[in-house]
């Protein structure tokens, strides 16, 4: 499992995929999500605007990414 730290309370699914460097841009994220290639907490997710919170897990391309929560700078 790969932890993805965020500095906000929530993050959109498409933004998380970009932050994790698994898609190049929002357009690619949109197509991957629409093609049902992404799961959130074990369920196929087709909404790219799905808000993720600390502890949510995203499965994509054989990897699992977990929202690590708010980080401080």
3-state secondary structure of 27: helix
In a domain, 20, yes or no: yes
C-alpha to C-alpha distance for 7 and 36, rounded to whole angstroms? 27
CATH assignment at residue 35: 3.10.290.10
In a domain, 36, yes or no: yes
- Indicate the number of domains in the chain: 1
pLDDT at position 73 over 60: no
pLDDT of the residue at 71: 58
What is the reported pTM?
Answer: 0.88
Q: Find all residues with CB under 8 Å of 60, minimum gap 6, and list them.
A: 17, 22, 32, 37, 38, 39
* Enclosing domain of residue 12: 2-68
CA distances for 38 relative to 1, 30, 70, 71, angstroms: 15, 10, 23, 25
Q: What's the pLDDT tens digit per position in 15-68? A: 999 999 999 999 999 999 999 999 999 999 999 899 999 999 999 999 999 999
In a domain, 73, yes or no: no
pLDDT of the residue at 70: 72
Per-residue confidence band for 72, with pLDDT thresholds at 50, 70 and 90: low
In a domain, 29, yes or no: yes
């Amino acid at each position: 499992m790969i932890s993805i730290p965020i500095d906000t309370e929530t993050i959109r699914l498409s933004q998380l995929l970009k932050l994790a460097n698994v898609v190049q841009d929002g357009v690619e994220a949109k197509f991957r999500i629409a093609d049902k290639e992404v799961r959130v907490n074990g369920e196929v997710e087709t909404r790219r605007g799905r808000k993720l919170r600390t502890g949510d897990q995203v499965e994509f391309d054989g990897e699992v990414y977990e929202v690590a929560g708010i980080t401080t700078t």
